[in-house]
Amino acid sequence: MKLRTTPMHHVFAASPSSASPFAPVRATRRMLGALLACALLAPAAAQAQEGTKTAIIRDAEIEQLLREYTAPIFKAAGINANAAKIILVGDRSFNAFVANGQKIFVNVGALLDAKTPNEIIGVLAHESGHIAGGHLSRLRQELANAQILAVAGMLVGAGAMATAVRSGPYGRVGSDSAGMMGALLGPQELVRRSLLNYQRGEEQAADRAAVTYLAASGQSGKGLLTTLERFQNDALFKTSSLDPYLLSHPLPAERISNLESAAKASPAFNAKDSPALQARHDMMRAKLFGFMGNTGEAARRYPLSDNSLPARYARAITAYRLGRLDEALPQIDSLLAMQPNNAYFHEIKGQALLEAGRAGQSLGPLRRAVALAPSALPIRVMLGHALVGTGNPRDAEEASHILTQVTQREDENIEAWQYLAMAEERRGHPAQAQLAAAQALFVQGKFVEARTQADRAQKQFATGTPGWLKADDILNYRPPRFD
């Protein structure tokens, strides 16, 4: 498992200008832009704002399990599984949201709290409803219309204020200033309420779609109801004083009322997760608690008296994460003795050795993990990292080959580009190293630094060659503005 801190993609990048007559409207646009994240519980506005740093987690085992969770849902929803992507967010709150097209962001808190696969499958079905319904693109159109109305309202309000100022004594705003300010801000408040009402309707549509997809794929809607009941219990003492018309989502009790009869009408309502799937879900949760929980939390959830496979997995990860390698390695070896063909046990052993500075020793477990899970790109990136870490030029050549393949399949994989840059540097290829470094910076949104590296690389390539053209693409890229 790897974590990296990166700015989440934002919708509006415009900055307010006190000199502009439309500064209040632009501020409203940024606020309303947060509505573009269609979330299960609440919009991920805080996560989606410009400059917010959020840990993105890459883990082959969890990504594979979530892909299997979504496969029947995507089929029922008519979503192209190859185009959609699930991204893990290192946030302990229970949430999930759709952003940037067909990307489903899932907080690890949702995975930690969900006791059954069906609960998470219900969440993913809801988010699939947003994708299949085209809610993001439709909401963008609503925002565009709302901005026109907001600007028109601002102009009308500003005209009224200007008239009042000219007609007032000595040209000053008098005691009606509060009312005139209301004339300016009133249209924006109406627009905001209209958009919130629109999004509540989309959330209800996604809930209904989720129940439909679950029934069509022979799965129960009980997990989705369980999740909503959790939200209801959490919000029991928080919603009594809230204005429901100022919320982006219907209240949990309303959502349960709308869904319960439809969910129970499905012939699959009492369907259970298979024991094998539940076992993998338990292993996923154990892994997350091992990596993200503190020592006390892991010990409480997985005491030494618990000899189950998930408990042993969590304790081995906790020991490695806390630097107790002499304790962790025997525990991992005992897991491998039970399941010698478990790619993720080999992966965790390789990762433990690699992060302990034993790159050469990590190659064996990581090569075995790649052989057992050839499509798991995060493991391939880790193997590339280990090959670079040995300091052997021959290993660097292999690393370059592996990491190039990864970047061809995932051109947004920052770590792959970074280690590829190191591998090319070790091979004595400075131009390719600088180009890979430029690609890594570009993916991170560091466009100025990316152009600097691309300029250095381009000067070393012959004009018109593939390397020269890639560098030229970075040099000529200008990020879009949303003024």
The pLDDT tens digits for 398-435 are 999 999 999 999 999 999 999 999 999 999 999 999 99
pLDDT the model gives residue 269? 95
DSSP state of 14: P
Say if residues 145 and 225 touch (Cβ distance below 8 Å): no
Instruction: Let me know if 167 is exposed, middle or buried by CB neighbors in 10 A (0-12, 13-18, 19+).
Output: exposed
- Examine residue 53 and state whether it is found in any structural domain, yes or no: yes
Give the model's confidence band at 47: pLDDT under 50 very low, under 70 low, under 90 confident, else very high. Answer: very low
Determine what percent of the chain is predicted with pLDDT higher than 70. Answer: 72
Residue 111 vs residue 199, higher pLDDT: 111
From the list 266, 272, 275, 223, the residue with the least C-alpha distance to 94 is 223
CA torsion 374-379-383-384 (nearest 10°) is 90
Cα–Cα distance, 64 to 467 (Å, whole number):
33
What is the Cα–Cα distance from 373 to 346, expressed in whole angstroms? Answer: 10
Q: Residue 382 corresponds to which amino acid?
A: M
Side chain identity at residue 119, one-letter code: E
**What CA–CA distance (Å, rounded) separates 58 from 3?**
6
For residue 251, give every residue at least 6 positions away whose Cβ sits within 8 Å of its Cβ, in sequence order, or none.
Answer: 232, 235, 239, 242, 244
| Domain-located, residue 184 | yes
Cα–Cα distance, 343 to 358 (Å, whole number) = 20
- Nearest CA-CA partner of 128 in 209, 25, 220, 59: 209
Residues 6+ apart with CB under 8 A from 416: 377, 381, 384, 403, 406, 407, 410
Distance between CA atoms of residues 206 and 168, nearest Å: 52
pLDDT at site 1 = 79
In degrees and rounded to multiples of 5, residue 455 shows phi and psi of -65, -45
Domain that holds residue 23: 2-217+222-265
Per residue in 349-382, pLDDT (tens digit) is 999 999 999 999 999 999 999 999 999 999 999 9
Residue 177 lies in a domain: yes
Sign for the pseudo-dihedral over CA of 113, 114, 116, 117: negative
**At 118, is the pLDDT very low, low, confident or very high (cuts 50, 70, 90)?**
very high
Residue tagged 């409203």 (tokens):
28
**Kind and range of the H or E run holding 85:** strand 85-89
In a domain, 229, yes or no: yes
pLDDT-derived band at 23, boundaries 50, 70, 90: very low
Structural domains counted in the chain: 1
Q: Is residue 447 one of the residues assigned to a domain?
A: no
Task: At 14, list the tokens.
Answer: 């415009």
Pick from 343, 358, 313, 307: nearest CA to 331: 313
282 domain residue, yes or no: no
Burial label for 192, CB within 10 Å (0-12, 13-18, 19+), is middle
At 150, phi and psi to the nearest 5?
Answer: -65, -45
Structural domain contains residue 84: yes
Tokens, residue 284? 């996923």
The structure tokens listed for 38 are: 């269609």
Does 128 fall in a domain? yes
- Residue bearing tokens 């007032």: 168
pLDDT score at 441: 97
**263 is written with which tokens?**
């969910």
Are 38 and 127 within 8 A, CB to CB?
Answer: yes
CA atoms within 13 A on the CB side of 90: 17
Tally of CA atoms within 13 A in the half-sphere of 175 that contains its CB = 0
Confidence of residue 232 (pLDDT cuts 50, 70, 90): confident
Q: What is the pTM of this model?
A: 0.79
Number of other residues whose CB lies within 10 A of the CB of residue 114 = 22
pLDDT at 141: 55
Q: What is the pLDDT of residue 297?
A: 87
Q: Compute the average pLDDT of residues 155-181.
A: 45
Average pLDDT for 232-245: 57
